[in-house]
Amino acid sequence: MQDDDRTDAGGGANPPAGATNNPLIAKLESLAKLSGDDKDVLQRISANPQVVEPGTALIREGDKPDGVYLILDGIACRYKLRASGARQIMAYLVPGDYCDLDVALLKAMDHAIGTLSTCHVVRIDLDTIQGLLDRHPGITHALRLATLVDEATLREWLVNIGRRSADERIAHLLCELLLRLRAVGRTAGQGQSYALPITQDDMADTIGLAAVHVNRVLTSLQRRGLIAFSGQQVTILDLVGLEAFAEFKPNYLHLGGRDAA
Amino acid sequence: MQDDDRTDAGGGANPPAGATNNPLIAKLESLAKLSGDDKDVLQRISANPQVVEPGTALIREGDKPDGVYLILDGIACRYKLRASGARQIMAYLVPGDYCDLDVALLKAMDHAIGTLSTCHVVRIDLDTIQGLLDRHPGITHALRLATLVDEATLREWLVNIGRRSADERIAHLLCELLLRLRAVGRTAGQGQSYALPITQDDMADTIGLAAVHVNRVLTSLQRRGLIAFSGQQVTILDLVGLEAFAEFKPNYLHLGGRDAA
DNA sequence: CGGGACATTGAATCGGCTCAAAAGTGGTGG
DNA sequence: CCACCACTTTTGAGCCGATTCAATGTCCCG
């Protein structure tokens, strides 16, 4: 939809002042040092993204994966479907995220990947990836770190669903998204707000709740003055309060600077 | 406690007929081919395990990890604690499993690892690991596959907690454990039963339920003739029925042979 | 202006929780 | 060998958070 608006909005609060607009570079730089050459290569890879409609499957369960998708704009996700049609979303792919560097080692995907919003996506074939890993140790290292963070995030989501109340779960998710989007320069305002182009249904399938209840919780969080919505733009009005409420500890994101190790 | 009894019990139904008793070798062989030399090296690494009491922390959240723990007997787990004391277990480490090959890349652990039962454990230092990765490509490949399976398992647990009922969750967990323990030769009977040396409290913290309710569900699954308990030995009486009930699809374990890819 | 997707609100229900107590179970020391 | 203790399992009763079902409201788009 209005992705071009968002590009402007992102200009407000990019964290490493004067960073690229390239979310992959920004993400990897938040985890490790990259050389100028590394960045050039990554920039070249991100050229000419294709635009994908919301609700498009990029990879289906059972497929033998033959490439990697890099998200440059929008939100995609990993998910599984039950026979009943119930869906569980297991990860969000925000700008700078990519899927399954080395899943090519496996014979078949055990889950699907699809877009939640309109997305700008680049497909990178295996040879390109391999070349990258062979010739750019700095990138390789950063990508490995990123993989570890993905795993840590997955674990935190398990804690979220398993041991937090509905209100806490949503608060936690909103905190996480703020930090992740900040790291790739996709926040607006004073770095307190961001576009969240997903439906309440999507959010429900993310945190193991029913959509109706997600609605009630969001309403309640707004009434308490913790967050505000205007359309699909979320603003965290009281980050400290929201983090405390959700018992959010950002350590699992392993962000280089600001918050803990 | 009676870990020596268990060693005997395991002798009943090792899957690749005439396999080693070494669970790490068995596990890796279920994922990839290993040379004789590879197996020798792994066998040597597994020598002289130390015995660890139930409820011992092997690694604490915040620690800077300096080695890898390999489980040879018993069950350990990854977990996080909330301020309230609530615990979420995020993974089981059964014989042949190990923790965090390359977590040394990170500055601090974002979760803890501890034993649930008495365990036989080997600590492998980073140099040994590095030597293994440098000199044994076959092992390296198998270890990478194992890491992917760990991730896939974590995703399936998220689906389990997020989108299955209490009964289905427990049924699913019991199915998964049967297959995992079979793959490392730790089942007894006709490969339908195994030792599950954990409390109902542990299980509750694993699947996001209260211990009392775990008890009721276990009782109910027994009444329905799907499983049987004798002490801490579980027997899956009707695997087909249990899998159907839990909607268990073993594809995410990526086991080489028997069940799908 | 009409249709479709999404959000919002209400009412009733239910799955799983909390609290509480009783009944094993195994280990320990006298 | 028995009594005792701590831990775990089992069972009951009542409650509450989240669900389902259903209706209404809102916005966007053709």
Per-residue pLDDT of A212-253, as tens digits, reads 999 999 999 999 999 999 999 999 999 999 999 999 999 999
Tell me which of B159, B164, B202 to substitute to probe the interface with A (most A C-beta atoms closer than 10 Å): B159
Question: Do the strands B112-115 and B57-59 form a parallel or antiparallel pair, or are they unpaired?
Answer: antiparallel
Note the strand C nucleotides within 7 A of protein beta carbons.
Answer: 5-11, 15-20, 26-27
Nearest nt (C1') to A1 (CA)? Answer: D28
Question: Do the strands B76-81 and B87-93 form a parallel or antiparallel pair, or are they unpaired?
Answer: antiparallel
The angle formed by the CA atoms of residues B150, A155 and B76, to the nearest 5 degrees, is: 60
Which of residues B259 and A203 earns the better pLDDT score? A203
Average pLDDT for chain B = 91
**Per-residue pLDDT, B103:** 81
Cα–Cα distance measured from residue A210 to residue A196, given in angstroms and rounded to the nearest whole number: 19
Region A107-121: what's the mean pLDDT?
96
Which residues of A are less than 8 Å from B210 in CB distance? Answer: none
B155: nearest CA partner in chain A: A90
Name the pLDDT band for B13 (thresholds 50, 70, 90).
very low
- C1' (D14) to CA (B214) span, angstroms: 19
Say whether pLDDT at B225 is over 90: yes
**Per-residue pLDDT, B257:** 53
Name the pLDDT band for B19 (thresholds 50, 70, 90).
low
- CB contact under 8 Å between B110 and A159, yes or no, is no
**Per-residue pLDDT, A8:** 37
Name the pLDDT band for A19 (thresholds 50, 70, 90).
low
Average pLDDT for chain A = 91
- CB contact under 8 Å between B154 and A155, yes or no, is yes
Region A126-146: what's the mean pLDDT?
95
Answer for A210: CB within 7 Å of strand D: yes
3-class secondary structure for B166-206? HHHHHHHHHHHHHHHHHHCCCCECCCCEEECCCCHHHHHHH
**Per-residue pLDDT, A117:** 98
Flag the least confident range among A45-49, A111-115, B64-68. B64-68
- CB contact under 8 Å between B82 and A162, yes or no, is no
Say whether pLDDT at A9 is over 60: no
- CB contact under 8 Å between B80 and A151, yes or no, is no
- CB contact under 8 Å between A162 and B105, yes or no, is no
Name the pLDDT band for B150 (thresholds 50, 70, 90).
very high
A100: nearest CA partner in chain B: B148
Name the pLDDT band for A66 (thresholds 50, 70, 90).
confident
Cβ burial of A144 (10 Å; 0-12, 13-18, 19+) is middle
Nearest nt (C1') to B202 (CA)? Answer: D8
pLDDT (tens digit per residue) in B119-140? 999 999 999 999 999 999 999 9
Q: Which two tokens stand for residue A21?
A: 């607009």
Which residues of B are less than 8 Å from A172 in CB distance? Answer: none
Q: Which 3 state secondary structure label does DSSP give A103?
A: helix
Name the pLDDT band for A83 (thresholds 50, 70, 90).
very high
Q: Which of B87, B163, B252 sits opposite A208 (nearest CB)?
A: B163
Percent of chain A past pLDDT 90, that is, above it, reads: 86
Which residues of B are less than 8 Å from A251 in CB distance? Answer: 108, 110
Closest CA to A25 of A39, A12, A35: A39
Decide if A72 contacts A51 (C-beta within 8 A): no
Closest CA to A201 of A209, A188, A211: A211
- CB contact under 8 Å between B90 and A159, yes or no, is yes
Query: Which protein residue lies nearest to nucleotide D18, measured between its Cα and the C1' atom?
Result: A213
Decide if A171 contacts A226 (C-beta within 8 A): yes
To the nearest whole angstrom, how far is the Cα of A111 from the nearest Cα of chain B? Answer: 8
Backbone angles phi, psi at B73, to 5 degrees: -155, 145
Q: Which two tokens stand for residue B142?
A: 């198998």
B153: nearest CA partner in chain A: A110
**Per-residue pLDDT, A68:** 94
Facing residues of B234 across strands?
B194, B229
DSSP codes joined into one string, chain B: --HHHHHHHHTT--SSTT--S-HHHHHHHTTS---HHHHHHHHHHT-SPEEE-TT-EEE-TT----EEEEEEES-EEEEEE-TTS-EEEEEEE-TT-B--TTGGGSSS-SSEEEESS-EEEEEEEHHHHHHHHHH-HHHHHHHHHHHHHHHHHHHHHHHHHHHS-HHHHHHHHHHHHHHHHHHTT--BTTTTEEE----HHHHHHHHT--HHHHHHHHHHHHHTTSEEEETTEEEES-HHHHHHHHT--GGGG--SSSS--
**Per-residue pLDDT, B243:** 98
**Per-residue pLDDT, A104:** 84
